[in-house]
Structure 1
Amino acid sequence: MRVSVHPTLLLYLRQPGICVMTDLAKLRPSVVSLLTHSSTRWIVLSLVSAAVVGTAAYSYREIHNELTAVALSRREAVAQLAAATLAEKFSRVVDVAVSLATRVRFRDLVAEGNWDEAIEIMRAVPKDLPQIERLFLADVSGTLKADIPALPGVRGMNFAFREWYQGVRRDWRPYISSVYKRTAAPQLNVFAVVAPVKSAAGNVVGILVLQIRIDSLIEWIKTVATDRGEFIYLVDSKGQLAFHSRHPGSGDIVNLSETPVVQKMRLDGHGVTVGFEPGEQEDSIVAYALVPGYGWGVVAQQPMRASRALAARDDQLRRLLTGYGLVLLLSAAAILLASRVAVARQRAETELLRNRTIFENLFESLPGLYLVLAPDFKIVAVSDAYLKATMTKREEIVGRYLFDVFPDNPDDPGATGTANLRASLDRVRRTAAADTMAIQKYDIRRPDGTFEERYWSPINSPVLGVGNRIEYIIHRVEDVTGFVRQKSQPAGNAAEMRARMEQMEAEIFQSSQKVQAANQQLKAANQELEAFSYSVSHDLRAPLRAIDGFSQALLEDYADKLDDAGKNYLQRVRAGATRMGELIDDMLQLSRVTRAEMRRETVDLSALAESVVADLRRIEPQRQVEVAIQSGLQAEGDAKLLRIALVNLLSNAWKFTGRQPAARIELGVRDTGSERAFYVRDNGVGFDMAYADKLFGAFQRLHAMSEFPGTGIGLATVQRIINRHGGRVWAEAAVNQGATFFFALPANRTA
């Protein structure tokens, strides 16, 4: 059905700026004015360029530091891995020394002074443990008493000057010495693993020394992966060079204790430095780590020129600089283009403002009674004729809510103007089509606060924008009060009155014809919907039952032939069939509430809610939920449909408070003066109001099925029930702060 709208009105509605301007729109003229000045353009360009350069420099530094830290962490990890490997090897040979020194027969012989017999017990050790090059026994004063293999001229020598003796004698505990050149030929670089030998009484009676060649560390270091050009060297507890992977054959013991890297290692334990390395005469990455518990240290060094990580860093930074340069150029181009656009826009807006003023004057002077509404029913514009007919002033009603300005007559308990008009406007919002109302009694409030009886013939038409979205609703009325009053009085003889009545009767007849046509279309649509519902109920359920039944049969009869994956697949098939059945049930219920015949009566909402909550408690008796239902809540409507609405609202509140340790649900009423809204409030998970427009659509869900089960039909069902009653439903919520669902119904006519 097409409803004609005055062309001047449509042109007016399509003018920019008809609604209250946003802050951005208010700022736009000043911004445009600034950009139109040449000097200002260059100042803005300089400021933007400076901001881009500053941001780029800061970002470049942060990214440089981050990539460098990643590259250096690789070297430090190598050093720490080598240190951990060396600590494990040291611990193993210490355990060997302690195990040998605590042999019962061995320690008894040492306590008796039978050195030769005692050392014979150890003869097989160098063969069994090849890393032990030589071992010997010394008394508590450090004099060598016996050795394997025996070397000429060393028995009877006192080694109290050796660092290994001083280390073990300090607290008579196992000790690993620093590197030294052994006395006997061949004079190899070795380190000693020393363990005190104690008698059964716990007295120190001798010292067992295991000598290990430094070059045996080569195999240990090989277990640590190194990168290109990287090498590792070890320093002992005195800071002496023990081993160098680049120069493994060097026999010189070099003191590195005064070098910066060794001093940092002694101070910090582990770390990494970058800079010129005097030993290698080039810039290097030097990572270091102490061997925990033994005082030795590991240094992993790599020339910076050989680091793949630093090369990748430099490559990324070069690409980043290129990108920043392009951004700067694009920003400059954008500023220049924006300035030109701003000049053209200022000219266009000046012309639009002039046109808007013209159209405003034309619209306001239209002879018809027009009211322009936003989709939320706020008054956007009004014609002078409408203001005169309703005894209102433009500045007092524009921007206000329609039903706050035009409420029902409180002295008329049977007034239905607000409810019927709201229902018509809701139909327009839902269908994006014009809606013609029957002649409606809707009293108008006089300036003194009293109400004057009026009758109107309204038509509500949408103004559609992009994507058929409703931008405005045009509420056009004809004041037919005189006609209605005349019809209720004895007929007169005035020719003018007869002509007027005939004209009005013709208009009413045309409107009734259109309503009858719409009713026929609605009846046909309902018949098609009933046929579809029958198909869903029977044709779709049969294959679902077959899927579920055969899946259950497979699980029961062939369970021994199915692996766990196969059983899981069948269980998922059954779960899917069950969910499909639930969707069909909910679709059918949604269809039924739309078609069901309504029987209006006074309904006790409090009693209905108590019944619904009792059912929920029976289903989940383990839940502890505090439910507060305001007593005496009554509304006019269909009891069965309103119970379905409460079931959906209260079930949702019950479900979404499932994770609350102290769940609370409340049913009450809020009276705003213009309407009486019932509400269901909970302290559950809530939702983001940015998605509130999706709540009442079929199959719309704001939470995953794994979190909260459901089909997404419940709130769509609630909205259709409330719409059928001529009311409205909406929600307010915040994430993790609960939700409140409101539904407003027409006033109780029996109140």
Structure 2
Amino acid sequence: MSNKIEFTPLGGGGDKGKRRNTEMKRLPLSAILFLIILPLALSGAYLSFREFDHQTKVALERRGAIADLGALLIHEKFDGIIDVGNSLASRAMVYQNIQKGDWNIAIKSLEGISQAFQYIDSVAIYDKEGTLKAVIPPMPDVIGKNFSYRDYYQGVSKEWKPYVSEAFNRATLPKYNVVSVAVPILSPDQNVLGILLLTIKLDAIVGWIKEVDTGSGGLIFVVDKKGQLVAHPQLRAEDNLVDHSSLSSVQRLLNNDHGIEVHDKDFAIGEEHVASYSQVKDYGFGVEIAQPTRIAFAERSRQVIEFVVIWAFIILTVCVSLYRVLKDRERIRSQRDRERILLESIGDGIVAIDRDWRITLWNKAASAITGFSESEARGQSFRSVVKFIRERDRKEDIAFIEDAIVMKRTSFMEDGVLLIRKDGKEIVVDDSASPIIDAKGEAEGAIIIFRDASNEIESAHLRSDFVYASHQLRTPVTEALWNLETAMSEENPEKKKEGLRIAHQSVLSIKKLSEDIITVSEIDQNNIMVHRVPIKLIDVLTEAQSNLEVEAKARNVVIAIAPTLPLIAVNTDRKLLIRVLLELLTNAVTYGPRGATVDMTAMLEEKGICIEVADHGFGIPEEEQVTIFTKFFRGSNRGKENVGDGLGLYIAKAYIALLGGKIWFKSEEGKGTTFYVTLPIE
């Protein structure tokens, strides 16, 4: 392996990123462009329609505002005339002479009104029954006639308040159309004395509406409370009154409504046009503004076309840029796919990290070895995912990676390094780390290569275990044969019996060692089946105590069970749990002093139960504590009489792992050892 690696991190973002890349790879470039451009085009179309609707709304609101302005103008004009009428009717010269019956003198006091207010065509005084008494300018042919049938009389006499009449053709020559404002003449004590009538020629109203700017091609017209046309840019007072109450907009005006409509050609404009209408509040008149549709919506069309052109330019720019990006991406992806195939074909785990120890590369073999998927590992801190520890002292071992980054050279793992998998299982690993060198010659990270060396180590261990087991069997076999041969030739019955007893013990040791070796083999080959059943904890403790009763009595040892709630139960394998407790109790009885006490305690914890087995024996030397759960471990301070096979604690730990629990211990040499076993309550 070379000392330096030049490496370009592969793309992709985990499993999801892989799937997305695979899907993109299957689609031709044109399809990818279509899938990306289509949302932009749809968004542009949607926004264009939104802009079209917005500009339509703005145009219609503008037309409606003009109609409201026209109605407000007419309203103010009528208010002004009523104010004039009220002012004239309240003159003392007027109502005092009317009280005296001097109608002509009363009218003379109003001379010059038409010159002062040029929109007033004539001024007339009626008695309260509707008979004309005096008028300016003089109209002798109608003096004395009763006009109570007229709309202006009926309107003002209804509540004796000012009233604006509908349009009508005046009774005397010259004939033309007018609108009248009738104001009651009241005495100081509010008695009705007569009616003051101010007549406005329709030409004056036509003049008023010319003050309203209706826009290019637009026009304005006014209708009275009967729907008769009273003002129009081309209307003359001498023209016949025309009833337009059949028009939908005029009908809405007569119903105190206002709004906007699109009309086909009619009397107002000879083409499709937008008609906005608004009622003149309090007076029953209506104002309508008409403008050809093509003109009313010209600004809308311009704005929408401009909006569409801008969006088309944006989409075109994105399309061209995206095409170039996708072409480059396709070339890069093709190269990276070739690199990924090569990377995934490697059987060793390969992990790349940056200077911050963040994982930037994770191959398939790394997932298989560690148990972490690429999506779980990529972007995470290396030390939070990959945990290398030294087997001898259980401390983290990353010195070879630091050496590779700092010294810019390939560095190898030391022997006896373990990898802690995601599932908590520990496996032996081996290999090296090499620096990732950038264009400036600086180390920007490292490539860590590791492989599962468990099979190699296991093969070596199996060979070692076989040799060690053979050695362990040799001693009791030799001892059994020697005692049997001695007993066969011995004539003394007592000595013969003792020889047979020793031979029997040796055979039992051979049997136990053989059974333990078979159990260890089953553990190593994952052939142990767990059969969980609900069991009461006190029953298991009592059974384990009973099974060791003979051995305990032989050493004068008391196995004490602390008071335990009888209802505490656990869902586990009874046989495996009892075997674990027997191994712990056997060690406690065997390696403790004669006449001692072994304490067994069970406690209920938050997420399970905890069983403690405490002795007051020799304790375990501190330097040997890290290997206590390995095969064939036997303490150096065990004594010659305590032989054992060194497999009990290895079996106990393996069984507890199968049951989903944990086992650990605390020991002080010369004072004793306490083992702790925890099991989940399911």
Amino acid at match of 1:241: L
Cα gap change, 1:78/1:198 in structure 2, threshold over 3 Å: closer, same or farther?
Answer: same
- Mapping 1:506-545, distance limit 5 Å: none
Deviation, 1:174, is 0.7
Q: How far apart, in 1, do the equivalents of 2:43 and 2:358 lie? A: 45
Indicate the residue corresponding to 2:522 in structure 1. Answer: none
Pick aligned residue for 1:311 from 298, 315, 320: 298
Compute the displacement of 1:298 (Å). 1.3
Residue 235 of structure 1 is matched in structure 2 by 223
- 1:176 matched to 2:156? The reply is no
Counterpart in the other structure of 2:243: 255
User: In structure 1, what is the equivalent of residue 109 of structure 2?
Assistant: 121
Rate the CA distance shift 1:446–1:330 in 2: closer, same or farther, 3 A.
closer
The DSSP-based 3-state class of the residue aligned with 2:230 is strand
- Alignment equivalent of 2:353, drawn from 373, 390, 393: 373
Distance 1:469 1:162, change over 3 A: farther
Please state whether the residue corresponding to 2:215 is helix, strand or coil: coil
Aligned-partner SS, 1:185:
coil
Letter paired with 1:93: I
Farther-moved stretch of structure 1 (122-131 vs 346-355): 346-355
Q: 1:260 to 1:381 in 2, by over 3 A?
A: closer
Match of 2:95 in 1: 107
Tell whether 2:345 aligns with 1:351.
no
- Give the corresponding residue for 1:244: 232
Amino acid at match of 1:14: T
Q: Deviations over 1:489-546 (max 9, x none)?
A: xxxxxxxxxxxxxxxxxxxxxxxxxxxxxxxxxxxxxxxxxxxxxxxxxxxxxxxxxx
Change (3 A) 1:339 1:131: closer
C-alpha displacement at 1:31, in angstroms?
2.8
Question: What SS does structure 2 have at the residue aligned with 1:298?
Answer: strand
Offset of residue 173 of structure 1: 0.9
Return the letter of the residue paired with 2:23. Answer: S
CA distance in 2, matches of 1:63, 1:380: 46
Q: Which residue number in structure 1 is paired with residue 184 of structure 2?
A: 196
C-alpha displacement at 1:195, in angstroms? 1.0
* Cα-to-partner distance string for 1:28-78 (whole Å, 9 max, x where unaligned): 112322449xxxx77x89888987876666555444333333333333222
Q: Could you say which residue in structure 2 is the equivalent of 1:302?
A: 291
Change (3 A) 1:171 1:460: farther
Q: How far 1:97 moved relative to its partner?
A: 1.1
Q: Which runs of 5+ in 1 are unaligned?
A: 387-391, 410-414, 437-442, 450-457, 477-751
Could you report, residue by residue, the CA deviation over 1:151-188 in whole angstroms, capped at 9, with x for unpaired residues?
Answer: 21222111101110011112111111111121122223
Query: Out of 141, 151, 156, which is 2:144 matched to?
Result: 156
Cα distance change, pair 469–291 in 1 and its aligned pair in 2 (3 A): farther
Question: In the alignment, which of 280, 285, 297 is matched to residue 274 of structure 2?
Answer: 285
Question: C-alpha offsets along residues 64-118 of structure 1, whole Å, 9 cap, x if unaligned?
Answer: 3333333333332222211111111111111111222233453343344332332
Equivalent in the alignment of 1:265: 253
- Compared CA separation, residues 338 and 77, structure 1 to 2 (3 A): same
Partner in structure 2 of residue 31 of structure 1? 24
Match of 2:658 in 1: none
Q: Is the CA contact 1:123–1:148 (under 8 Å) kept in the aligned structure 2?
A: yes
Does 2:75 match 1:87? yes
Counterpart CA distance in 1 for 2:112 and 2:291 is 42
Q: Secondary structure at the match of 1:351?
A: helix
Distance of aligned partners of 1:394 and 1:198 in 2 relative to their CA distance in 1, 3 Å threshold:
same
Structure 1 distance, partners of 2:128, 2:448, is 112
The 2-side partners of 1:196 and 1:299 are apart by 31
**CA 1:125/1:312 → structure 2, altered by over 3 Å: closer, same or farther?**
closer
Question: Could you tell me how far 1:461 is from its partner in structure 2?
Answer: 7.0
Structure 1 residue 143 displacement after superposition: 0.6
Q: In the aligned structure 2, how far is the partner of 1:396 from the partner of 1:45?
A: 35
Distance in 2 (CA, whole Å) between partners of 1:62 and 1:130 is 51
Q: Residue in 1 aligned with 2:14?
A: 21
Q: Deviations over 1:380-410 (max 9, x none)?
A: 5699xx9xxxxx964479935355469999x
Alpha-carbon contact 2:387-2:419 (below 8 Å) kept: no
Q: Distance in 2 between matches of 1:468 and 1:100?
A: 105
Q: Is the 8 A contact 1:136 1:208 kept in 2?
A: yes
1:195 is paired with a residue whose SS is strand
Query: Matches of 2:351 and 2:334 in 1, distance apart?
Result: 31
Equivalent-residue separation in structure 1 for 2:441 and 2:419 (angstroms): 38
Q: For residues 103 and 180 of structure 2, what CA distance do their matches in structure 1 show?
A: 20
- Identity over the aligned pairs, expressed in percent? 26
C-alpha displacement at 1:473, in angstroms? 5.7
Q: Which runs of 5+ in 2 are unaligned?
A: 390-394, 410-415, 425-431, 450-682
Matches within 5 A, 1:204-603: 204-248=192-236, 251-267=239-255, 269-279=257-267, 280-305=269-294, 307=295, 309-315=296-302, 347-357=334-344, 372-374=352-354, 377-379=357-359, 394-395=370-371, 399=377, 401-402=381-382, 404=384, 472=445
CA shift for structure 1 position 416:
13
Letter paired with 2:24: V
The residue that corresponds to 2:3 in the other structure is: 6
Shift of 1:334: 9.8
CA drift of 1:245 comes to 0.6
Per-residue Cα deviation, 1:125-151 (whole angstroms, up to 9, x for no partner): 223222222111111110111222322
Q: Quote the Cα distance in structure 1 between the aligned partners of 2:152 and 2:325.
A: 81
User: So what's the TM-score if we normalise by structure 1?
Assistant: 0.47
Q: Report the 3-state secondary structure (helix = DSSP H, G, I; strand = E; otherwise coil) of the residue aligned with 1:254.
A: coil
2-structure distance, mates of 1:47, 1:397: 30
Pair 109,350 (structure 1): closer, same or farther in 2 beyond 3 Å: same
Number of paired residues? 442
Question: Does the CA-based 8 Å contact 2:258-2:279 persist in structure 1?
Answer: yes
Partner of 1:65, secondary structure, is helix
Cα drift, residue 421 of structure 1? 13
- Do the aligned residues in 2 keep the contact of 1:397 with 1:405 (CA within 8 Å)? no
- Which residue of 108, 132, 142 maps to 1:144? 132
> What is the TM-score of this pair, normalised by structure 2?
0.52
CA spacing shift, 1:119–1:249, aligned 2, 3 Å = closer
Counterpart residue identity of residue 298, structure 1: V
CA change 1:21–1:153 in 2 (3 A) is same
AA of the residue aligned to 1:377: W
- Contact 2:164/2:180 (CA < 8 Å) preserved in 1? yes
Change (3 A) 1:446 1:273: closer
Q: 1:533 is matched with which residue?
A: none
Cα distance change, pair 250–348 in 1 and its aligned pair in 2 (3 A): farther
CA distance, structure 1, for counterparts of residue 176 and residue 438 of structure 2: 97
Residues 103-112 or 248-257, more deviating:
103-112
Contact 2:202 2:236 in 1 (8 A): no
Aligned with 1:282: secondary structure? Answer: coil
Contact 1:35 1:342 in 2 (8 A): no
> Alpha-carbon deviations, 1:717-748, whole Å to 9, x = none?
xxxxxxxxxxxxxxxxxxxxxxxxxxxxxxxx
Residues 29 and 371 of structure 1, relative CA distance in 2, 3 Å threshold: closer
Distance (whole Å) between structure 1 residues aligned to residue 442 and residue 90 of structure 2: 91
More helix by share: 1
For residues 436-468 of structure 1, the C-alpha deviation after alignment (integer angstroms, 9 at most, x for no partner) is: 9xxxxxx9999799xxxxxxxx99977659x99
